[in-house]
Amino acid sequence: MFDVILYEPEIPPNTGNIIRLAANSGARLHLVAPLGFDLSDRQLQRAGLDYHDLAQVVMHPDWPACRAHFAARRMFALSTRGAMRYDGAAYTPGDVFLFGPETRGLPRVVLEELPSAQRLRIPMRPANRSINLSNAVALVLYEAWRQNGFAGAG
């Protein structure tokens, strides 16, 4: 129903948690290289538990290849510089959610590829930098799924 893109993820346990989240929500996960770890990383495997076989994970060699893959789809980028709160968007099946690397977020050039209304932010206290990547993905993905009646859930 939804696709999640991790642009150059850096921390294996976050990606492992997101693999588990994707398996449980029916989302497809896309990883954009270069990754900050090897897919056989022990921490990645541990965080994802036994959900790796239940999740659809697609590797893209770089951002242009990933962007081309989703050329016909509506994409939302999550950033502390986003124009609109994530809960203010109306999501539809097929939407794609793009998240940046843990230590630096999405590059400005990538963010500017999307219209302002598709650059979203998660509210937080003003003095804080960011929310953990796997938590951010969970917030957005479950809001989108909620808006669509948790289609496919048991």
What is the domain partition of the chain in residue ranges? 3-147
Contact criterion met (CB below 8 Å) for 115 and 136: no
Tokens standing for residue 86: 């994530």
Q: Is the per-residue pLDDT at 65 higher than 70?
A: yes
Contact 37, 130 (CB under 8 A): no
Q: Is the pLDDT of residue 42 over 80?
A: no
SS3 content of the chain, % helix, strand, coil (to 5): 35, 20, 45
Residue 150 pLDDT grade (very low, low, confident, very high; cuts 50, 70, 90): very high
- pTM above the 0.75 mark? yes
pLDDT, the chain, mean: 92
CATH fold for domain 3-147: Alpha/beta knot (3.40.1280)
pLDDT in tens, 117-130: 999 999 999 888 88
Q: How far is CA 139 from CA 28, 60, 78, 104, 133, in A?
A: 16, 24, 11, 20, 10
